[in-house]
Structure 1
């Protein structure tokens, strides 16, 4: 894969952000944007453990999706204090995904500021994401095609992005938002996944307090280089086509996929995974032994 480092700025005005990045749909990292937030000083594991140690949190790992998995159904649960102890003790695949910790611990809401960057943000409470060393979030794009402001805290994180026009190379699983889960995007096997050789994307390395702007519909793969956590703020898609796709995903695609899982079971999951290869290779004129 061809990956370009995402540009990194120390600060940005709302005019620059909208004109240079939102309108042309280009990613950017802004390093100093959280310097005036209380969170910049306080959002470390010790602080989270102190204020939320007794909260039971949902945990997810990197096991492949099966027909038995419910929508966003966690693989395990743990007290937040015990989970942070685990993160600090040893590498773990367990992640917290889309968890509304601010609802459970309202004092966290005073720690961040809604940034004035010229886009209208959805003012629901932000979700938080936690991960252990080397834990990974599989390649996917978001169901609502939002523009995302992704803020990272406590440690280092690597993000690989692809724009929507690269979807033809991503081995997208039909009726879903993911690529094949057995692709290692850190070290792709190009004999097995030859389409990826043609993909052109971006890479960013985030540290404490950095913000990554991910334009609407961008594929993203996240790896926690060290234990850490992140927060995302969202803005609804600006492009009418993306808004229509988001509505279809929420109102039709998700429900159809759940229906087929209940009806066909694991055969439906296996069929979709096979189709991801067949459709990708047929569209690109690639002939391999792995198409079935």
Structure 2
């Protein structure tokens, strides 16, 4: 079964006033197709260029293995030189991804290749993060720990983005004490007999190509699939809703540390408990039995 996904609206360009009124204020996503076309990055940023300026950097890598007690919250699975990783991306499929990496801090010259867009809110200028992936590699369905408003720029190829607003959390089998949905769900081809609540979820979808920009409102769930090898950069702004700011503080200073302690002390029993609770709570909340075949 296919999910109930609406194409994200696209605009070529947009004024600050229109962006604030029609998307930010309403907390709706939008793709801006030409926001980066006057950046040096639009013409320069590809895998070859990154290899040229950052090939010697040792970078953290993640794969698509299920979360386990073996690693702490957001702990990398391995490390590799950037040149070796880019060669891997260009030669064969790989599940290894770079996630939340501040390459612009490591290679300051890259900071001259872009500018912060004037769209009506302030950005955290010390936190432009880069993400890399190989063909068909996937980022699991999650929302960001700080519930920020995110501007997401894609380079070198194409990636698919599936989004759900926070109002749909009750259908997404959210894992307790975590920021993810149950990792057994294939959001490209979900088994609704196994995950019946997904039938009620309503979200958004788009494919981002080189130079295109996606606005993801605060607290939005997102799942990414790289259709070609490529990379993206995110910049972020603090959540503007007071409740979301409070939740973000809780996530950063309490939730993730509590989860790390429980992983260390209870191991896989803790991980299994959380996954079981995700299924039980979601199915119960939506009127389904655990083995309901509706």
Contiguous gaps of at least 5 residues in structure 1: none
Q: 2:97 aligns to what?
A: 95
Q: 1:130 aligns to what?
A: 132
Contiguous gaps of at least 5 residues in structure 2: none
Residue 262 of structure 1 and its aligned partner are, at CA, apart by 1.6
Residue 247 of structure 1 and its aligned partner are, at CA, apart by 1.0
Q: Is residue 197 of structure 1 aligned with residue 199 of structure 2?
A: yes
Q: SS at 1:230's partner residue? A: strand
Superposed CA RMSD in Å reads 1.1
- Pick aligned residue for 1:217 from 201, 219, 237: 219
Q: Deviations over 1:120-143 (max 9, x none)?
A: 111114110000000000000001
Q: SS at 1:231's partner residue? A: strand
Q: 2:34 aligns to what?
A: 32
Q: For 1:177 and 1:289, locate their aligned partners in 2 and report how far apart those are by CA, in whole Å.
A: 25
Q: 1:176 aligns to what?
A: 178
- Pick aligned residue for 2:88 from 72, 75, 86: 86
Cα 1:268–1:125 shift into 2, 3 Å? closer
Q: For 1:72 and 1:167, locate their aligned partners in 2 and report how far apart those are by CA, in whole Å.
A: 21
Q: SS at 1:133's partner residue? A: coil
Residue 288 of structure 1 and its aligned partner are, at CA, apart by 3.2
Q: SS at 1:173's partner residue? A: coil
Q: 2:113 aligns to what?
A: 111
Q: SS at 1:158's partner residue? A: strand
TM-score (norm 2): 0.97
Q: 2:244 aligns to what?
A: 242
Q: 1:41 aligns to what?
A: 43
- Pick aligned residue for 1:280 from 282, 286, 290: 282
Q: SS at 2:150's partner residue? A: strand
TM-score (norm 1): 0.98
Q: 1:140 aligns to what?
A: 142
Instruction: Report which stretch shifted further, 83-92 or 248-257.
Output: 248-257
Q: SS at 1:253's partner residue? A: helix
- Pick aligned residue for 1:5 from 4, 7, 12: 7
Q: Deviations over 1:160-186 (max 9, x none)?
A: 000000000000000000000111000
Residue 74 of structure 1 and its aligned partner are, at CA, apart by 1.2
Q: Following TM superposition, where does structure 1 have runs of at least 4 consecutive aligned residues deviating by more than 2 angstroms?
A: none
Aligned pair count reads: 291
Q: 1:160 aligns to what?
A: 162
Q: For 2:172 and 2:127, locate their aligned partners in 1 and report how far apart those are by CA, in whole Å.
A: 31
Residue 68 of structure 1 and its aligned partner are, at CA, apart by 1.5
Q: For 2:259 and 2:289, locate their aligned partners in 1 and report how far apart those are by CA, in whole Å.
A: 28
Q: SS at 1:182's partner residue? A: coil
Q: SS at 1:237's partner residue? A: coil
Q: For 2:74 and 2:111, locate their aligned partners in 1 and report how far apart those are by CA, in whole Å.
A: 24
Q: Is residue 53 of structure 1 aligned with residue 55 of structure 2?
A: yes
Q: Deviations over 1:225-246 (max 9, x none)?
A: 0000000010100111111111
Q: Is residue 151 of structure 1 aligned with residue 157 of structure 2?
A: no
